[in-house]
Amino acid sequence: MTNKFNDKLGQGGFGSVYKGKLPDGRLVAVKSLNETKSNGEDFMNEVASISRTSHINIVTLLGFFFERSKRSLIYEFMPKGSLDKFIYSQGTDNQSRQLEWKTLYDISLGIARGLEYLLQGARGTAGYIAPEVFFRNLGGVSHKSDVYSYGMMVLEMVGGRKNIDVEVSQTSEIYFPSWIYKHIDQSMNLNLNEEITGEEEEITRKLITVSLWCIQTNSLDRPSMTRVIEILQGSLQSLELPPRPT
């Protein structure tokens, strides 16, 4: 089905994803999970949980494979590929943006809706790890940890770069949220290396504001995903720039 795992689509912290084809000709994405010594009960519980999800903004699970330590999840194939291929600049001389701001806005809103759906069902999602995962004095891990991950992802979409980039020329620019605060003034203007329309500027300000609220160090200061959707769909007039995350 996967052509001997020759067509690799990507790799993450939990395993690698390969392109495959079902006997009926349908293309699929096969996520081969890292081997584990567990008895498989957690994996089967996860499969049962994922199989109950049904949302337009969540990739559909079509099946799974489980044999001893080998485990795979079979998802519907997304022909346009992963989001990271479109949001990260390739090389320092490339200042062009592959996706329009309206498209970035629609993607951010769609992901927010999908994440809201998952959190209502008490499911988490992998992403950038919130500080309370490591520092328990900041509070316990909760659905607000996923809100943090969402905010970090949106910042990457806005900036077209990784949130932690060791290849930048100045040390102060390694952590992208700090760079955002350095280059944004009280009127919320961001010095982007491109000309944008008034509508695109409004989208940019919304995305920046909601993402910075989502990555607040104190989880109690972060909005719920329902509130995130309200912010993205609402007016800019009542929005304030949140405190700088520490």
Give the residue numbers of the binding site for ATP: 31
Phi, psi of 233 (to 5 degrees): -95, -10
Structure tokens at 40: 């498989």
Q: What's the CA gap between 79 and 119, in Å, rounded? A: 27
Edge-first strand listing for the sheet containing 8-12: 8-12, 15-21, 27-33, 70-76, 61-67
Q: What's the CA gap between 63 and 140, in Å, rounded? A: 33
**Residues tagged in the binding site annotation:** 31
* One-character DSSP codes across 114-153: HHHHHHHTT----SSPPGGGT-GGG----HHHHHHHHHHH
